[in-house]
Amino acid sequence: MQVVGHLINGKQSHNQNDPTQDVFNPATGAVTKQVSLASKETVEEAIAAADAAFPEWRNTPPMKRARVMFRFKALLEENAAKICALLTDEHGKVLDDAMGELTRGIEVVEFACGAPQMLKGEHSKNVGPAIDSWSEFQALGVVAGITPFNFPAMVPMWMFPMALVCGNTFVLKPSERDPSAPMFIGELLKQAGLPDGVFNIVNGDKVAVDTILEDKRVQAVSFVGSTPIAEYIYSKGTANGKRVQALGGAKNHAIIMPDADMDNAVNALMGAAYGSCGERCMAISVVVCVGDEAADELVAKLKPQVASLKIGNGTDTSNEMGPVITKMAQERIKGLITQGAEQGANLVVDGRDLVVEGHENGYFVGGTLFDNVTQDMVVYQEEIFGPVLCVVRVDTMQEAMKMIDDHEFGNGTCLFTRDGEAARYFSDNIKVGMVGINVPLPVPVAYHSFGGWKRSLFGDLSAHGPDAIRFYTRRKTVTQRWPSSGVREGKQFAFPS
């Protein structure tokens, strides 16, 4: 059986002494390959390769680094069908969704192509007699990315394109559940002309993560995943002197105002709640309806659409939703649905008993819709990460906003309304990092930065966009004097001014 190994110093390898783990096709439940789980020594080998490659890559002109990204972008587009097939085979998402993921990743590569402009510093002449001062952005060194299973192509591309064009070298630890797409993308980087050792991939588990967090050669770590792990990585990484950005979990709310375009809201929520089987950190999992009339209309319109979702193998382009990632995830989601019903929520559409013909062993959960959910219920409090949408009823917009502000997560939110005053008040005052107005998934484009508030982000800087330049570089300020020949000054003991 094929073993997915590592990409270290430009070569794919698998240490026979490292353990392996099965990789499944979630639509069938079948083992399709195995993935190598890197030992401490294997991870250290990758870090050493990145460390050795750093001096030359750092001194490569930014324009030449950008040209690698231009070629990489073209290769991603040429190989899009193969990448999407790998995503669907190992994650389960439908092919259209896989293409959407890849496209958003490519947009960050496009943004990275403009690095020469973004890396320009600032210069001031004659800040004092014959004294010039300037600032510049210098690469950190070896940096690392630890990425989740739900976006095996896009999330790594939130990180390494910007890190590389800034002059750093990179070690990627992708999810061991769907490792093939990142490995193939790493090969495309090599084809694009990236020197060996500049980009490395180690597949693995907690051993690999802890090695990255503890190794003094790693200067910065970027992470996307659940909040408990994000907090662990931030705490351990910063304790070891590293710069860390750790994007955590979410419980994203949508508010439906009484004046909302209900048909538009329903169509938007179907994609936002059930796209990618709800396995998105930006998925809408709670709808807060202002007034019973709005709630009744919304639930009545949602119910038949949720019940008729086309669910099956993601390779069938007629399907709207595929399986969840693992058997364990399937059982957990079904258990949470059961808890929601037991705690008194109205189970309008129940997806627990879905069986897809011909894929009886696949990890499928049907679209699920709850009404009359309250804040004390588990289905409201936890990030379900599955195709479950909860409807909450309140009397006022202020009550809805307080509910959002009181939640521990602050990743994304949206408001459906025709009222400009309400929209402006909401966007100005809600305590959430990414806000949509009649836009259910307000994921920033590549030249803006992605990041939540509260326990959805640990660290000061968000992913991609302008924050990426700040995260992957250090500012250095140089003050320089070349006095005229023969001019000498006496001693000065006062602070210079």
Active site (catalytic) residues: 281
Length of the chain: 497
Using alpha carbons, select from 274, 281, 55 the residue that is nearest to residue 158. 281
Rounded to whole angstroms, the Cα distance separating 203 from 68 reads 24
Q: Which of 479, 481, 475, 472 is nearest to 136 (CA)?
A: 475
Residue 132 parent element (H or E): strand 131-139
Cα→Cα distances 157→70, 186, 253, Å = 14, 11, 27
* Rounded Cα distance, 157 and 73, in Å: 11
| Residue whose structure tokens are 């030449």 | 64
Q: 186 CB contacts (<8 Å, ≥6 apart)?
A: 7, 172, 199, 201
Q: Are 170 and 158 in contact (CB under 8 A)?
A: no
| DSSP, residue by residue, 150-193 | S-TTHHHHHHHHHHHHTT-EEEEE--TTS-HHHHHHHHHHHHTT
In the chain, how long is the greatest CA-to-CA distance? 91
